[in-house]
Structure 1
């Protein structure tokens, strides 16, 4: 407990789903949490405040440079520093699985805008503040799918592969400033969105579980320990790495 005491943590896409689980975990460890989402974070905000967190919620479009800059600036106004950025916002569970020839170009562009441009834009927004304080942690959320080449979701898989490369290059550029950049790569998680997507559940659940060394469904809480490890001083000398958490489906 209190590994994150008084640390200021921005989590994008935190209003619901796995992002909300990350926010609760950070609050439980004593962090000041910024819920950054295009969705309304008011309900979660009240929950976090009830846990004793000095939390705020900001309407944020991660793909928009001005919105991301405002997110960082308002966080600084409230707390005076930014210790951790979790680039969690992504388009996934709402996608329909289909052959790559049938993916609409507009949908491709939307996935890339949120899943790749988003982490780039948000990292660029917080980097000056982290550089000024000489420390910081950036955690990009990827996926196990780039390691497998999962079919039916080419735009999503491609975007999450890009996140791996983004992490490695950023780690090289930011290391001299005391900023660590790492990736957390979950497997198929029973998030709210995945549970609601019957087709995705039907097509992916059985083969994914069969591929795991630990043969069970993955739940959001399975990601809490690894996330806190990457966000805290426990991983102080670690950067540019990808931690896959999927029950042993991918081993790399």
Structure 2
């Protein structure tokens, strides 16, 4: 990616920052001038260290952000790091395939907790800081699977559908305070999460259906995410941007 100064002076929280999309996004935001708060249920120390190598400040916070109490515990650390939070990238998520006859309520709730509850909890944790400063950017990761007929993903697609609705509604409520809220839909990509939940064979199959016939990688979405978290997107809110190699050609 080309280094710019479009995020100088901003502080960004990136969830799911220990690898994959999260690490790629955190590093590019740092190259563009942002200080980074890397949040993950696992240690994000390596991501924070890599950010520091770019010359920006970074901290890593380890928490299960589907748990309201743990989000409350890390909120003072997020706000206190630089005294403000300007950008939230809601990237944390999981995408399990579950046969509909094996999908019980516990698995349904777990899928929503990871993919949807995390986004609500993190947004409500930092949006007051954004309101105080009259500027904020929230970017939620959704999924291009919403436009496809993917089997065995009832819970996941329902959760990501809720993310789109959450994005549109939150954009309406926060617009008066200079805060924009948008969503990005990536494709099945070669990331640690993609390998774990989808597998290389399915990722290759998806790539064959795309207009751009190669497997997606984490770096493919960072430009879109950085645009939506910058001043350049100031007149854009409540939108769902598909960044999937042309799989959903709509």
With normalisation by structure 2, the TM-score equals 0.94
Q: Tell me the equivalent position of 2:21.
A: 18
Rounded to whole Å, the distance in 2 between the matches of 1:109 and 1:160 is 13
Gaps of 5+ in 2: none
Q: C-alpha displacement at 1:69, in angstroms?
A: 2.8
Could you tell me whether the CA contact under 8 Å between 2:79 and 2:126 is conserved in 1?
no
Other structure's SS at 2:88 match: strand
Counterpart residue number, 1:242? 240
CA deviations over 1:200-242 (Å, ceiling 9, x no partner): 3324531x22321111111111111101100111101100001
Alignment gaps of 5+ in structure 1: none
SS at match of 2:140: strand
Distance 1:195 1:125, change over 3 A: same
Structure 1 CA distance for aligned equivalents of residues 18 and 27 of structure 2: 11
Kindly tell me: are residues 251 and 71 of structure 1, through their superposed partners in 2, closer, same or farther at Cα, counting changes over 3 Å? farther
Aligned to 1:7: 10
RMSD across aligned C-alpha pairs, in angstroms? 1.5
Structure 1 residues 5 and 138, CA gap change in structure 2 (3 angstroms): same
- Structure 2 counterpart SS, 1:15: coil
Aligned length: 247
Deviation of 1:101 (Å): 1.7
Q: Secondary structure at the match of 1:101?
A: coil
| Structure 1 runs, 4 residues or longer, greater than 3 Å off | none
CA distance in 1, matches of 2:98, 2:201: 14
- Are the equivalent residues in 1 in contact too, given 2:190–2:203 (CA < 8 A)? no
One of 31, 34, 46 as aligned partner of 2:34? 31
Q: In 2 relative to 1, CA 112–98 (structure 1 residues): closer, same or farther, beyond 3 Å?
A: closer
Distance 1:89 1:161 in 2: 15
Q: What's the counterpart of residue 85 of structure 2? A: 82
Whether contact under 8 Å (2:12, 2:37) holds in the other structure is yes
Equivalent in the alignment of 1:188: 188
Contact 1:83 1:130 in 2 (8 A): yes
TM-score after normalising by structure 1: 0.93
For residues 196 and 185 of structure 2, the distance between their equivalents in structure 1, rounded to whole angstroms, comes to 21
In the alignment, structure 1 residue 221 sits paired with structure 2 residue 224: no
Q: How many angstroms apart in 2 are the aligned matches of 1:34 and 1:54?
A: 9
